[in-house]
Structure 1
Amino acid sequence: MSYRNRLTRFMFPALMTLGIMASTGVSAQTSAPLTLKVYNADSQSFHVNAVVVSGKTEAVVIDSGFTRADALRVAAHVLDSGKQLKTIFISNADPDFYFGAEVLKGLFPEAQVLTTPAVRAKIQAKMAGKVAFWAPKMGANAPQQPIVPELLQGTRLMVDGEALEVRGTTGALAHRPYVWIPSIQTIAGNIAIFGNLHVWTADTQKPSERKAWLAQLDEIEALQPATVVPGHMAAGTALDMGAVRYTRDYLLRFDTEAAQAQSGADLIERMKKAYPQAGLGLALEIGAKVNKGEMPW
């Protein structure tokens, strides 16, 4: 698997400076109580993000990357920071969110690998099948002994006395929580938000699930975050509320086009026309067929 080194600089409010890296990055010094580094993987890892949240002496990783290589790149930034990694928090049961936890745990044995009850239940139910499917395709980059996270006690993680609140842990989408960091007004760890990609809709076919998804986006918007880290994003996506609006607009457009499309292929063409620059075409191809009843999921 090949990776390009990309470095994109973003300017944010004076509250904080945020270092973003695709494969490598530069630490940012800030007076904010916490700082972030976002590892944005390439298309081979579905453009998934992992986030390192650091304080003066401690760090937490939110999601671990898909491949062993992804996880090693995340680990490098923790090591370079000199901070103690306390927790590896897994926000979703899809492999690109937790396969890398094995590597991180091996390098940071004192760190806890934690998640919510609903996410843990999904991981336990799907892990064997996901490993069987992906391991032959990933080769040496596949996990050797994938980790089932332990249960997070309560709904908060702490970094040097600053709270990371795990929200969205109940209801129809309890298995898709997100992290709100009040001290730096940041949203992270959320599969519900996509940046300039086709949105993954195959897992939310029920109207109640789509309604809950839109409600969660409204809930996030009401927090007025200064920084929003999508679960998946194209390189160069701005880390702001634009990703929330993009995802909401995409979902509404998808439902409108799905109601009019005669087939999955028709729906794919309609969405490609509506979003000609969006990456992650696999999400559209599968989502369109699933939502038109042409593919079981």
Structure 2
Amino acid sequence: MSSQLQVDVFVSPPVRANTGHTEFAKSVWSPTSCTLIHGSQSALLVDAPTTMDQAEALAKWIAETIPNKTLLYIYTTHAHPDHFMGVPIIQKAFPDAQFVATGNVVAGIEALYATVYDAIWPNMFPGQLHPSKPVPKALPASGKLHLDGHEIRGIEVGHTDNEFSSFLHVPSLRLVISGDIVYGECHQYFGEANTKARRREWLDAIDSIEALNPQIIVAGHKRASEIDGAYLMQSTRDYIHTFEKELSQTTSWESLFDRMVALYPQRWNLFILELGCQQSFAVVEKERL
């Protein structure tokens, strides 16, 4: 008989990034959620943070949280490096752990390394990233994994804040680890979801999660004190709808940025908001010509 699964969440704290800004609010990277699912013998980690120091802290926490259990899998939700660059550090500490993802996420990570990774990420975190470029093994098309007798499933979605996205569903816990499909109190990234169609896909992805009726949802970026609840789906939707409305009325990316800061003063990562405003306004401005 399977033992009941447990879930613990480690929120890797904000870290400074070389964004080109000197002010703290535009140079701090969002806190990142790393979720540990474990049964009586084995465990699965969802997402690993960006820097080597962050990953070392996570590895220490895992060892303290599951001292007599084997970490079997490290699953990454999507193809943004702030959710998987720390994987080699975790694997060094837990050599039985296999790095896995859905097929679309694997393809996205490989494409990232072949294109813009070297030009962006090492410069943003100089000397802080592991020198290897980890690539996960693709899960079967079903997305299924098994942990101590429990079925867990990686589910692919369309464009969210990234073209190559998925979430992890743990039916026995009524749990979804959403990656960056659902956000907590951090500004959502519209730098890639810079068209109305892509933001519509993001809303559809939230609907896909809601259709599973989860009771617990772990957002990819959140404040450590936030409760991991289903209410986060609606707050993420509301933020997208608000951004859409303000974007349609604005005359510049700067005014859009200022408006979103005024409406969401408690959210982290103004650099991410700035990028999203710039990229999304550029699309709208082109359409207006």
Shorter-chain TM-score category?
0.7 to 0.9
Deviates more, 1:249-258 or 1:193-202: 193-202
Q: Distance in 1 between matches of 2:14 and 2:230?
A: 23
Alignment length (residue pairs):
264
Q: Per-residue deviation at 1:230?
A: 0.1
Query: Of 76, 84, 94, which aligns to 1:98?
Result: 84
RCO higher in structure (CA 8 A, sep ≥6): 2
Q: How does 1:255-294 map to 2 (within 5 A)?
A: 255-293=244-282
Q: Distance in 1 between matches of 2:30 and 2:220?
A: 10
Deviates more, 1:91-100 or 1:213-222: 213-222
User: Which residue in 2 is equivalent to 1:119?
Assistant: 105
Matched, 1:83 2:72: no
Q: Distance in 1 between matches of 2:271 and 2:46?
A: 24
Whether the aligned pair in 2 keeps the contact of 1:228 and 1:239 (CA below 8 Å) is yes
Matched, 1:135 2:122: yes
For structure 1, the 5+ residue unaligned runs are: 1-30
TM-score w.r.t. structure 2 length?
0.85
Q: Distance in 2 between matches of 1:100 and 1:32?
A: 30
Matched, 1:48 2:35: no
Q: Per-residue deviation at 1:195?
A: 0.4
Q: Distance in 1 between matches of 2:158 and 2:250?
A: 30
Q: Distance in 2 between matches of 1:35 and 1:79?
A: 15
Q: Per-residue deviation at 1:78?
A: 2.7
User: Which residue in 1 is equivalent to 2:56?
Assistant: 72
Structure 1 segments, 4+ long, off by >6 Å, are: none
Query: Of 8, 19, 34, which aligns to 1:37?
Result: 8
The two structures, once aligned, show a CA RMSD in angstroms of 2.1
User: Which residue in 2 is equivalent to 1:175?
Assistant: 164
Q: Per-residue deviation at 1:70?
A: 1.9
CA 1:172–1:231: 2 relative to 1, 3 Å: closer
Q: Per-residue deviation at 1:183?
A: 0.5
Q: Distance in 1 between matches of 2:260 and 2:225?
A: 22
Equivalent residue of 1:259, what SS?
Answer: helix
Q: Distance in 1 between matches of 2:35 and 2:100?
A: 15
Overall identity of the aligned pairs, in % = 26
Query: Of 143, 151, 163, which aligns to 2:151?
Result: 163
Q: Per-residue deviation at 1:231?
A: 0.7
The amino acid of 1:55's aligned partner reads G
Matched, 1:238 2:227: yes
Deviates more, 1:283-292 or 1:171-180: 171-180
Whether the aligned pair in 2 keeps the contact of 1:75 and 1:104 (CA below 8 Å) is yes
User: Which residue in 1 is equivalent to 2:132?
Assistant: 145
Q: Distance in 2 between matches of 1:172 and 1:135?
A: 25
The amino acid of 1:149's aligned partner reads P
CA 1:202–1:184: 2 relative to 1, 3 Å: same
User: Which residue in 1 is equivalent to 2:96?
Assistant: 110
Equivalent residue of 2:176, what SS?
Answer: strand
Q: Distance in 1 between matches of 2:281 and 2:123?
A: 30
Q: Per-residue deviation at 1:131?
A: 4.2
CA 1:198–1:103: 2 relative to 1, 3 Å: same
Q: Per-residue deviation at 1:43?
A: 2.1
TM-score w.r.t. structure 1 length?
0.83
Q: Distance in 2 between matches of 1:136 and 1:130?
A: 10
Deviation string for 1:159-186 (max 9, x for gaps)?
101111111x254567211011111111
For structure 2, the 5+ residue unaligned runs are: 16-28, 285-289
